[in-house]
Amino acid sequence: MLGNTSNSTAIQADYCIVLDASHASAAKCYQTVVSSLQRVGLEVTSRPGSAKSHEILIFVRASQAKIYKALEAERIDDWKNGVFSTRPDDPRERREFAQEPPSTSERLRIVYEMINGVQGAGIVVKQAPFEAVMAIFPPHDPAFNKNWLESWTKKDTIWSIPEDQLIKIKNHFGEAIALYFEFLRFYFSSLVIPASVGLVTWFSLGTYSIVYSFIVVTWSLLMIEGWRIRERMLAVQWGTYNVSSSAASRERPQFRPTEKAPDRVHGGMKGIFPWYLRDLRVLSSVPVLLVVASALVALIALIFTSEVLINEVYDGKGKTFLSLLPTMGFAGVVPQVVALGHQAAIKLTEYENHKTVPVFERSLILKMFALNAIVAFGTLSLTAYAYIPFGTVLIPDILSFIHRSPGPNVTSSAMTRGFSINSERLTNTLFALSTTTQIIGFVNEVVVPFAMRFVSTKVNDRRESKGEKRSTDAAQNDESQEKEYLERIRKEASLPEYSTFLDYAEMVQQFGYVCLWSVAWPLCPVAALVNNFFELRGDAFKICINQRRTAPKRVESIGPWLDLLGALTWIAAITNASLIYMFQPRTSSALPVYAQLSHKLAHGLNVTANALNMTDVRSSQVEPFRTTRIHQATVAPGSSYYNIRTTVFTALLLGLASERIYQALRALTRHIMEELFWKQTPEAAALAKSEYKLKDQYVSAMGLENGQPEEEQPKRSFNEPAYGLSEAFWQRGDLGLQVLESSKSKTA
């Protein structure tokens, strides 16, 4: 159980603003920050930052009266903009704060809006006139963090996050972080299905199994549609349903309107940025991103080709050292290009001048993840669709080109080893990405920052114990009652800012490995399951210890990440079908079933040993690979290139056909799951009830339950003509009966 730490002591501030005192405009910026904060009614004080940092820490807090007033105003705005609320339906009913005090995340979100919002002080990090502002963050709550980290060691958190704990995460960190942890928990729990199937498949059916592929693609579809319903239920429970709509979304303080236009919803005039100008800016960003993406693809292809030539063809001096060069290039150069692309994406998205935060974040995430996806899936794509199918044609052509190139010719003596396709390269690459890469990522995210900070603290403590004085010791002027608090805040100010982008990107990439490529290594979901067990706990540790606390955000969905998951599942229908068509070994059906299973088991063990670099078992890989369509295309009569190209083209056509089947399956799955898991839920009923009750309250308030009030009914005599018909029309009797009687007599 997490402790209740919502009651703050008097010394604790809501936010800390870090200002660089060495900046050229520091003095002016400081005055502007303080006056802006005081203008919106916030209490402000400041202290010096850590030694040698040349920083000023500006502490900010708001009174309870300000918080109550802002929350009531927010509730009214939510009601007007159609945001579902768990609070009273009638806006005239006030929230009883004595019985339902604001949560920590509500308070911090309101204060951040007062600091950063358009209607507040409008302070934006590193933007004019606040260029000297380096960070804005709420201080951590050590008591809550301690209880939360301890809760991960209990039995009820092994496979799930208890509902009460999830609510406490939401009340402390905000809906955005709580939704991320619930998504990770949901994804982690659902991985049990493909992990179990993959374990059985690996030691029975082997790689490129049609049964395994169908189960994994179906699972990925069910997982996405299940999460779509789960996040909608949470949005209703948390009162954030429809909060991302344009009317309810938070406006970016960086938005710069260029003209005024009538506000057709709220009345009056509002600042706008014409849609066609924004669309033109979005289109103008495409060539820039294409250049970065092309450079990234070319770099990865160059590194990939070099690695193949050095490790599988070259047999000369210095091979051990040369074999490290591709890895060094991938680890050293590729991240720099990606970082450059991310910076370009940020600049381009800012240039697009989006008005609301959700739209801005969506545009930015799609740009940045597109570059990440090239790195994550580029090597696998080259292996599956270039190296294995066309390697026997391309590698000799590359060697011939090297022979003909000017300069010293070392290939005649060095590159003499016969080249043959490593048919298990796709499996080995996926193994490395699914295990080694994720372990390294976990160590870099959690272990390394903690270890470096631990060593730094020990070094500083040792210097102080020896009597070494720092030139500007900020702690010398600290009061005794605030010394411990300020030391903690100074340490937090030096930490990096937390963002959910990297965590979501890591999970979406891992999901791509499972649904797109695990047909080549069915143990991939097992590796993902094990990794995510530690990822849940590592991310909690990272948020509490290694990074600054972030301002709470209200969200109703994981946003574009859900769209990316859907896109990967759609692509998985294509890749799975094409990979199976090209690479599935075709064991003779004449063999007994037990013999076929024995063959698959031996092959699986051999490939596992190879992936773990335990031994070279390439000779055991030859026979299964020789039965694949792609190998038979290389040895068939005629042009090898033509035969291979025809096989790959057929595989892609088969993939496109599978994609059509996937589309139908997705529509059917979504319909069934909506009927089974959404429409009969209390959350769906609450949404429908709130919409009806809103209109019912309006009708009741106007006194219109039985139509128009009687005194407002039009006065008209029954003798007056109506619609041009005289009273005689109504007095002629029921002539329809005469028709029926006439018809009956004729029948008789």
- What integer pLDDT is reported at residue 620 of this predicted model? 43
Q: Burial of 40 by CB count in 10 Å (0-12 exposed, 13-18 middle, 19+ buried)?
A: middle
- Whether 316 contacts 410, CB under 8 Å: yes
Find the helix packing angle between 142-151 and 524-541, rounded to 10°: 150
The b/e string for 194-212 (b: 16+ C-beta within 10 A; e otherwise) is: bbebbeebbbbbbbbbeeb
Parallel, antiparallel or unpaired: strands 15-20 and 55-61: antiparallel
Instruction: Report long-range pairs for 562-567 (Cβ below 8 Å, ≥24 apart).
Output: 562/224, 562/227, 562/228, 562/231, 564/366, 564/369, 564/508, 565/220, 565/224, 565/227, 565/508, 565/511, 566/224
**Per-residue pLDDT reduced to its tens digit, 236-288:** 999 899 888 766 677 888 899 988 888 777 778 888 899 999 999 999 999 99
pTM of structure: 0.86
d(CA 386, CA 641): 12
What is the torsion angle, in degrees rounded to the nearest 10, for the CA atoms of residue 454, residue 455, residue 461 and residue 464? Answer: -150
Which residues neighbour 627 within 8 Å (Cβ) at sequence distance 6 or greater? Answer: 585, 586, 587
Determine the pLDDT at residue 639: 58
List 15's β-bridge partners, or say none: 60
Enumerate residues 6+ apart whose C-beta is below 8 A from 438: 506, 510, 527, 531
Residue 8 gets which letter from DSSP? P
CB 187 within 8 A of CB 507: yes
Can you read off the two tokens belonging to residue 171? 């009340």
Sequence-distant (≥ 6) Cβ neighbours of residue 529 within 8 angstroms: 188, 191, 192, 195
Angle at 561 between CA 560 and CA 564, to 5 degrees: 90
User: What pLDDT is attached to residue 319?
Assistant: 78
Q: Are 208 and 580 within 8 A, CB to CB? A: yes
Task: Note the pLDDT of residue 594.
Answer: 45
- Say whether the peptide bond before residue 129 is cis (omega within 30 degrees of 0): yes
**Distance from C-alpha of 165 to C-alpha of 149, rounded to nearest angstrom:** 12
Sign of the CA dihedral with 741 first, then 742, 747, and 748 last: positive
pLDDT at 636: 67
Q: Which of 376, 424, 441 shows the shortest CA–CA distance to 611?
A: 424
Collect the ranges in the chain with pLDDT lower than 70.
1-11, 86-92, 98, 246-248, 405-419, 457-476, 586-626, 635-640, 694, 698, 702-726, 748
Residue 274 · residue 375 · CB < 8 Å: no
Contact 665, 221 (CB under 8 A): yes
Helix (H) or strand (E) holding 46: strand 43-48
- The predicted pLDDT at position 634 comes to 73
Q: Cβ(136)–Cβ(112) under 8 Å?
A: yes
Interatomic CA distance for residues 161 and 147, integer angstroms: 14
The residue type found at 363 is S
Residue whose entry in the numeric block shows the structure tokens 């972080």: 177
